[in-house]
Amino acid sequence: MNFEYFFRLFFSGLTRGSIYALLALGYTMVYGIIKLINFAHGEIYMIGAFTALIVAGALSLTGMPALAILVLASVVALVYSSMYGYTVEKIAYKPLRQAPRLSALIVAIGMSMFLQNYLLLAQTSNFLPFPDLLPEFSLPESWGGMVNGPQFLIFVTTAIIMVALTLLIKFTRMGKSMRATSQDKVMAALLGINVNRIISYTFIIGSFTAALGGILISSYTGQINYFIGFLAGIKAFVAAVLGGIGSIPGAVLGSIVLGMAESFAAGYISSVYEDVFAFVILVLILIFKPSGLLGKPEVQKV
């Protein structure tokens, strides 16, 4: 067995998994709070990448160093995309809060198509080159060839975000009120929690991490178009279901498992069917363990 090849696939799987995790968090958190699969979530990822591209393009004319461009473009794109997520919730989902869940789901699909086509009209249908903004740095000799600088940067960034988010959810006042709201909205309101504000926070956080994923992967692969959010979004959704929708650690675990599975399947079986594996996993998990790897069955007493 070729270990170098194995580890190369391993790290490539970890890179994919990290990006899925950044996206899957948004799906699972939004589902946890308002029981909605936000199909427009992948579009926020794509909008994050586009915004970073446009800002970086403008800044590169000023002749700034690449790192400064990366930081500035990312900050602008993250804030802009977070506001996008916030606004989508306010215009499209909030009016349907009391409506049947199917109506909100259909609106989410509509919102996804709307945003894709809006970007298609406003920008272009062609693939655009994305500037290589991630700093190239050399890793220790012994890692050579198996993992590269940008991949390493993607895992580290993802790991930092996951730790920060876990601390936020577990220990802060805002995190506790998010957990309470996801478990019982009426009771949360009766204790003085502003439920609308908690829902907005959820969309803002989810959009932030999705946009970060979009920026990272685009500067890694080097190209974007209006459609990149669709497949990434669907796969991250599969990852969230695999981990147990509504569970944050589940979303991370599901994403890593999915990223690895895709990478190994493409490397050892065939890369032609790369995208099929995600959906095979979805079908299997729905048949054998519909609550997902870490999904909790409801504990309820009457």
Partner 1 sequence: MLELRNVQTYYGNIKALKGIDITVNAGEIITLIGANGAGKSTTLMSICGIVPPREGSIRFKERELRGMDTDRIVGFGISQVPEGRHIFPHLTVRENLDMGAFLRRDKAEISRDIEYVYELFPILAERRNQAGGTLSGGEQQMLAISRALMARPTLLLLDEPSLGLAPLIVQQIFEIISQINRENGTTIFLVEQNAFQALKVANRGYVMETGTITMTDTAENLLNNEDVKRAYLGV
Interface residues toward partner 1, by CB under 8 A: 173, 176-177, 179-180, 183-184, 186-195, 296, 298-302
Rounded to a whole number of angstroms, the minimum distance from the CB of residue 173 to partner 1 is: 8
The half-sphere exposure of 23 on its side-chain side, counting CA atoms within 13 A, is 41
Give the whole-angstrom CA distance, residue 274 versus residue 264.
10
Rounded to a whole number of angstroms, the minimum distance from the CB of residue 16 to partner 1 is: 30
Give the whole-angstrom CA distance, residue 251 versus residue 244.
7
For partner 1, the closer of residues 202 and 219 by Cβ is 202
Rounded to a whole number of angstroms, the minimum distance from the CB of residue 197 to partner 1 is: 9
Rounded to a whole number of angstroms, the minimum distance from the CB of residue 244 to partner 1 is: 13
- Hey, how many other C-beta atoms are within 10 angstroms of the C-beta on 9? 19
Rounded to a whole number of angstroms, the minimum distance from the CB of residue 175 to partner 1 is: 11
Give the whole-angstrom CA distance, residue 211 versus residue 45.
4
For partner 1, the closer of residues 58 and 167 by Cβ is 167
For partner 1, the closer of residues 272 and 299 by Cβ is 299
Q: Is the dihedral of CA 36, 42, 44, 48 positive or negative?
A: positive
Cβ-contact 265, 9 below 8 angstroms = no
- DSSP classification of residue 224: E
Give the whole-angstrom CA distance, residue 200 versus residue 97.
13
Q: Tell me whether residue 302 is exposed, middle or buried, using C-beta atoms within 10 angstroms of its C-beta: 0 to 12, 13 to 18, 19 or more.
A: exposed
For partner 1, the closer of residues 46 and 188 by Cβ is 188
For partner 1, the closer of residues 190 and 287 by Cβ is 190
- DSSP classification of residue 145: T
Backbone angles phi, psi at 223, to 5 degrees: -155, 150
β partners of residue 224: 128
Cβ-contact 112, 226 below 8 angstroms = no
Rounded to a whole number of angstroms, the minimum distance from the CB of residue 278 to partner 1 is: 29
For partner 1, the closer of residues 2 and 301 by Cβ is 301
Rounded to a whole number of angstroms, the minimum distance from the CB of residue 203 to partner 1 is: 19
Q: Nearest to residue 241, comparing CAs of 294, 299, 195?
A: 294
For partner 1, the closer of residues 190 and 272 by Cβ is 190
